[in-house]
Chain A
Amino acid sequence: MQNPFARERSLGVSRTRRRYDLPLNKAGGTGFLTLLIGLMTFLALLALSASFVLSAMTDRWSSGLENRVTIEIPAENEAGKILSSEETKKTGLKIESLLTSHPAVLRTHIMTDEEIRELVKPWLGENLMLGKIPLPGLISAELQEMTPETIQILEKKIKAIHKTARIDTHEEWLGDLLRFTGALQFAAFILALVIGLATITAVAGAVRSHMAVYHAEVELLHLMGAHDSYISRQFQRHSLSLAFQGGLCGVAIGGLCLLIIGWISGEMGVSLLPDFRMGYLQLGVLATLPVFMALISALAARQTVLKVLRKMP
């Protein structure tokens, strides 16, 4: 007996392929929507990366500085006389022994000239004859807990040893920095939100116009007793797949851009900033962007279809 499916096969009609009851994949505007979602994903990728880099920066800058103070011994005394480096060192040692004897202080470290040179290099340049410039003394100290009282007491004692010495708690510039990066992160967050909303709006608009174009077909399904969820699934699947495709393109192009940016900044030797490599978790988040775009698109399509269908009897 002849295989009953032989004819179907010979006609090239596969019966297992998932099909649409509505010709959505042939509908106009599909390419446009894919492109739009690709662009949105691209922007979202850049915004998220920027936000990750910023948070890595603030982490790195603030983590090293927590509960740390730096005692600065200026290279000149209150009378404006330049101190020799031996004198500065002697004062430094005196202050250090004072600090170590205090119970609130955990650790101290007198920075060597080398370390100080390394610190000021980005600002003053290597070529300056650093050896000839009198360097201030710097002592970094780690406290058990940074309270204003402790700082006050320590400052008083230090001033008794050297009038112009002062404690720098980094609070001021760190606070400014954190406020600045916080604002940038907030902007990135708002940008991501706007991208999400724009995607939802675009998908909803496309679904609405498709439903208008295929009104007769949609109504027919409805009259045959299709539940709203059956009809919305058609649009959902379609939006899901094209948003995923768009998302993949966006992430691919965005990733390429990030690599190029990374390469250029590496080439130009932007070593002023520490190296901000993203962690696996953050890369993972970026990689799931297409999935996320696909999901919000499907959800937007579903809500739109259900809303339109509610007008049918």
Chain B
Amino acid sequence: MIRFEHVGLRYGIGPEVLSDISFALEPGSFHFLTGSSGAGKTSLLTLIYLGRRPTRGLITMFGQNINGLSRAELAPIRQRIGVVFQDFRLLNHMSAFDNVALPLRIQGKAESEIRNNVQELLEWVGLGDHMHVLPNTMSGGQQQRVAIARAVITRPRLLLADEPTGNLDSEIGFRLMNLFEQLNRMGTTILIATHDQTMIERFEHNKLVLDHGGLRVEEPKHWLSKKIDGVF
């Protein structure tokens, strides 16, 4: 589904934030992306949601080499990706409802369909009473849930989330992780950047670890030890 081959990224004339990254995400997989602060998690996600072009290397998305695609051809690819930004990026002049409805409107969905889906999802994330509230009057956790709802409303093929549970209490955090798992079971590929070790340990998924510009894949410890137990 996604393949990076020897991808490098630098901002301007600065040092390479990512150097020689190679990995592949299989359809329907669930990965955590970890690494210390400033390791380049957000930068890597930016490359995946096509917010930037890499300085070098080859990126294949949904079977298409994105280097060979025109601007117009990138738009439909972006529509298949849901993103929860680290800083949410909600539009403060429109209500939570309209924020969540925005991706559907961009995709030209019917207003009746939009109304039902958005209402249902906002109720599900516990914001049924805040549909017509402007985001900048909401708490950090509420804003985060709006951002998550906006990312998943289109049932994207790929969901990227940058610290999605950072501002949430563990109760709501686990509920949202369950939402992600549910989406994953319905076929959405998921990549979540997080520092949250309890989350990583509780949900056993493969880890992509960013370290000094490089990337390595780690299988969950739990799972690994079980496998070893089984073999020996």
Interface flags, B107-118, vs A, CB<8A=1, else 0: 100010001100
- Which chain A positions have C-beta within 8 A of B102? 21, 221, 224
Asked if B83 contacts A8 (CB within 8 A), the reply is: no
Q: A220-B89, A227-B75, A313-B53 are in contact. List 6 more A-B contacts (CB 8 A).
A: A5-B115, A19-B94, A21-B94, A225-B106, A226-B75, A312-B71
Alpha-carbon distance A226/B115, docked complex (angstroms): 20
Asked if B49 contacts A11 (CB within 8 A), the reply is: no
Interface flags, A23-36, vs B, CB<8A=1, else 0: 10010000000000
Interface positions of A from 1 to 51, Cβ below 8 Å from B: 4-5, 8, 11, 13, 15-16, 19, 21, 23, 26
Alpha-carbon distance A219/B89, docked complex (angstroms): 10
Interface positions of A from 164 to 189, Cβ below 8 Å from B: none
Asked if B79 contacts A224 (CB within 8 A), the reply is: yes
Alpha-carbon distance A155/B29, docked complex (angstroms): 104
Q: List 23 A-B contacts (CB under 8 A).
A: A4-B116, A4-B119, A11-B132, A15-B111, A19-B94, A19-B98, A21-B102, A23-B93, A217-B91, A221-B102, A224-B103, A225-B75, A225-B78, A225-B79, A225-B80, A225-B81, A225-B103, A225-B106, A226-B106, A227-B72, A228-B71, A313-B51, A313-B71
Contact count band on A = 20 to 34
- Which chain A positions have C-beta within 8 A of B106? 221, 224-226, 230
- Which chain B positions have C-beta within 8 A of A226? 75, 106
- The residue of chain B having its C-beta at the shortest distance from the C-beta of A219 within the complex is B51
- Which chain B positions have C-beta within 8 A of A313? 50-53, 71, 74
- Which chain B positions have C-beta within 8 A of A220? 89, 91
- Which chain B positions have C-beta within 8 A of A19? 94, 98
Interface of A is mostly: loop
- Which chain A positions have C-beta within 8 A of B74? 313
- Among B49, B71, B83, B93, the one with the most A-chain Cβ atoms within 10 Å of its Cβ is B93
- Where the two chains meet, the residues of B that have a C-beta atom closer than 8 Å to any C-beta of A are 49-53, 71-72, 74-81, 83, 89, 91, 93-95, 97-98, 102-103, 105-107, 111, 115-116, 119, 132
Interface flags, A195-211, vs B, CB<8A=1, else 0: 00000000000000000
- Which chain B positions have C-beta within 8 A of A4? 115-116, 119
- The residue of chain A having its C-beta at the shortest distance from the C-beta of B78 within the complex is A225
Report if A216 contacts B (CB, 8 A): yes
Asked if B50 contacts A21 (CB within 8 A), the reply is: no
Asked if A223 contacts B93 (CB within 8 A), the reply is: no
Total A-B Cβ pairs within 8 A: 63
Report if A81 contacts B (CB, 8 A): no
Alpha-carbon distance A23/B53, docked complex (angstroms): 29
- Which chain B positions have C-beta within 8 A of A224? 78-79, 102-103, 106
- Among A13, A16, A26, A313, the one with the most B-chain Cβ atoms within 10 Å of its Cβ is A313
Output the least CB separation between A231 and chain B (Å).
9
- Which chain A positions have C-beta within 8 A of B107? 225
Output the least CB separation between A24 and chain B (Å).
10
- Which chain A positions have C-beta within 8 A of B103? 224-225
- Which chain A positions have C-beta within 8 A of B91? 21, 217, 220
Alpha-carbon distance A64/B2, docked complex (angstroms): 81
- Which chain B positions have C-beta within 8 A of A227? 72, 75
- Which chain B positions have C-beta within 8 A of A132? none
Alpha-carbon distance A134/B81, docked complex (angstroms): 98
Alpha-carbon distance A227/B49, docked complex (angstroms): 15
Alpha-carbon distance A13/B97, docked complex (angstroms): 11
- Among A23, A221, A223, A312, the one with the most B-chain Cβ atoms within 10 Å of its Cβ is A223
- Which chain A positions have C-beta within 8 A of B111? 15-16
- Which chain B positions have C-beta within 8 A of A16? 111
Alpha-carbon distance A15/B97, docked complex (angstroms): 11
Output the least CB separation between A102 and chain B (Å).
75
Alpha-carbon distance A224/B105, docked complex (angstroms): 10
Interface flags, A216-248, vs B, CB<8A=1, else 0: 110111111111101000000000000000000
Asked if A13 contacts B79 (CB within 8 A), the reply is: no
Output the least CB separation between A305 and chain B (Å).
13
Alpha-carbon distance A216/B89, docked complex (angstroms): 8
- The residue of chain B having its C-beta at the shortest distance from the C-beta of A313 within the complex is B53
- Among A15, A228, A310, the one with the most B-chain Cβ atoms within 10 Å of its Cβ is A15
Alpha-carbon distance A221/B72, docked complex (angstroms): 14
Alpha-carbon distance A222/B79, docked complex (angstroms): 10
- Which chain A positions have C-beta within 8 A of B93? 23, 26
Asked if B49 contacts A223 (CB within 8 A), the reply is: yes
- Which chain A positions have C-beta within 8 A of B83? 223
The 6 A-B residue pairs whose C-beta atoms are closest, nearest first, are A225-B79, A225-B78, A23-B93, A226-B106, A225-B75, A11-B132
